[in-house]
Amino acid sequence: MSSDQAMDSMKDGGDFAAMFESSFSENENLEPGQLVEAEIVRISKEWVFLDLGGKSEGALATSELLGDDGVISVKEGETVSAYYLANEQGQKLFTTKIGGAAAKAHLENAFENGIPVEGEIKKEIKGGFEVHIGEAIRGFCPYYQVALRRVSDPETLIGQTFNFQIIEFKEGGRNIILSRRSILEEEQQELKEKLKDVLEVGQVVEGEITSIRDFGAFVDIGGVEGLLPVSEISYTRIKDVRTVLEEGQRVSVAILKLDWDNDRFSFSLKDTLANPWDIIESTIVEGTCVTGTVARITDFGAFVTVASGIDGLLHISNLGAGRRINHPREVVSDGEELEVSIDAIDVENKRISLSLPHVEQKKQDILAKKRDANQKAPDLREEFQHYSQEKTKKTTSSMGTFADLLKGTGEK
């Protein structure tokens, strides 16, 4: 109730005492398991006292707020989040997590109201882990409930203390099934909601490789896990992701896709690296020969890696040394190293034309031999023309002499 409302109510004859009581009645009706924000008003050796508003006050065990060094981690005047447990002898008791000596008395309350309990993983047993809650309570946490994803080395969890949710509570607390995963999922969802306001496509973020598949790797950037496709790992062609990445590795990735509705996210490691086509002029030069590796073979030719992230095409027409071949595999094979000539570079379209130097030389040699053969061979047409002219002259000369003889004979 606001101060203006209170004044109006007083003018109307309202009961001030009733209004005063209503100012903190909300906290009088706390439900077990309810999470509240409260200010610390006093700290003693055993209890931290909380201001719940009005005349209401609560208490929280000091031991719950001790750091690893045994020193309390909060100060008077600070605010803490705590779960309401119960009202004992007129005192409202709160907890950040149920554990220690008070665990046994509050386990059923924690189960019914979703209050987390603190437990230490003692050992690995069939199907999961044995977890100790407080001093003498044992619970069981299945493998699939101990983390968000499969734990590759379960022994690393032995001796560690975590918060757990009680998901089954039977036979007076003798059979207790615990889940740490449910708490982690809740924390992850809270982080995800916060990330919606700060993440955007194209942004570069830090993440950790959580698992590796043949088609890529999954990356957790803290509250959001997405796919890093194999095609987005590097500019070079990658056959086995495990040769370049490993689980637990920290990476910087660019955000490619954010689909919050369908919970699908994708990243690119390649986009954080220098594009080899931007520095191609300092890498390879047109007209030179380099040693490359056959990256893949198609029906129309072979793609050869001539520099990191840069492939050129060795067309099938440049493979046969002048003879016709049916497929490039007749001449080259995957992974083969060979010397190629850089015939042409098209930076705009990211294309490079290649040829085999010895094949090109062989072609040139064949053409040269043909030219030489054409130069050395007699020109039959010229010889035939010459022969025809000579024959005509002789015929004409012979006919003239015969005519003269006839003419002389006539005269006689």
CA distance 41 to 49: 6
> Which residue bears the tokens 């990256």?
295
35 φψ region: left (φ > 0), alpha (ψ -120 to 50), beta (else): beta
Averaged pLDDT for residues 263-275: 91
Least confident segment among 77-86, 181-190, 248-257, 384-393: 384-393
Give yes or no for residue 364 having a pLDDT over 70.
no
CATH number for 276-365 (one of 2.40.50.140, 3.40.50.300, 2.40.110.10, 3.20.20.80): it is: 2.40.50.140
What's the pTM value of the predicted model, to 2 decimals? Answer: 0.57
Taking the chain, what is the end-to-end CA distance rounded to the nearest angstrom?
164
Give yes or no for residue 258 having a pLDDT over 90.
yes
CATH number for 199-272 (one of 2.40.50.140, 1.25.40.340, 3.30.460.90, 2.60.40.420): it is: 2.40.50.140
CB 92 within 8 A of CB 115: no
CA distance 229 to 269: 9
Q: Do domains 3-95 and 276-365 have the same CATH topology?
A: yes
> Which residue bears the tokens 């109307």?
12
pLDDT digits (tens, 9 = 90+) for 286-306: 888 888 889 889 999 999 988
Q: Could you tell me the residue ranges of all domains in the chain?
A: 3-95, 116-185, 199-272, 276-365
The pLDDT value recorded for residue 152 is 80
Tokens found for residue 63:
């031991």
**CATH top class, domain 3-95:** mainly beta
The pLDDT value recorded for residue 2 is 40
The pLDDT value recorded for residue 318 is 85
Give yes or no for residue 376 having a pLDDT over 60.
no
CA distance 243 to 240: 6
The pLDDT value recorded for residue 20 is 39
CA distance 342 to 299: 21
The pLDDT value recorded for residue 13 is 44
Instruction: Please report, rounded to a whole number, the percentage of residues in the chain having pLDDT higher than 90.
Output: 26
CA distance 267 to 218: 9
Average pLDDT in the chain? 79
